[in-house]
Amino acid sequence: MALHARGRTGRGAEELAASLLEARGFRIVARNWRRPEGELDIVADHAGVCVFVEVRSRTGEDFGDPLETVNPRKRAQIIRAARLYLDQEPLFSSSFRFDVVGVTFYPDGRAPHCVHVEDAFRTDG
């Protein structure tokens, strides 16, 4: 897949994820928070909890579920970025968690399928 098409798919997935989260009562605090050391797709407040949301997407089902792509290496990257965020940004909560939203787009025109996994993983300490 061409890089620009991949970027469009990622942006589309993040738009869908943000809409899904807002519909579920989340308040989006930041999107595409980036630093040289890491990035976070979505930072949200949900009932007083700071939620770091990783958004993963796939076009079609040939390469598996997008949730499967949040492997130990990716989790470590997200945790590193979250720690940096907590060090650099004003805190609005004393607790946090990590959610994942997987979005599958279908080339045949079917509506995208979104799955939101709350508390998808935890830090090791």
Give, in words, the CATH class of 3-121.
Answer: alpha beta
pLDDT tens per residue, range 45-60: 999 999 999 999 988 7
Position 81: which residue type?
Answer: A
The whole-number pLDDT of residue 8 equals 63
Whole-number pLDDT of residue 93: 79
pTM: 0.90
Q: What is the pLDDT of residues 63-72, one digit of tens each?
A: 778 998 899 9
Q: What is the mean pLDDT of residues 22-36?
A: 96
Alpha carbon of 6 to those of 13, 20, 70, 72, 77: distances in Å? 10, 21, 17, 22, 20
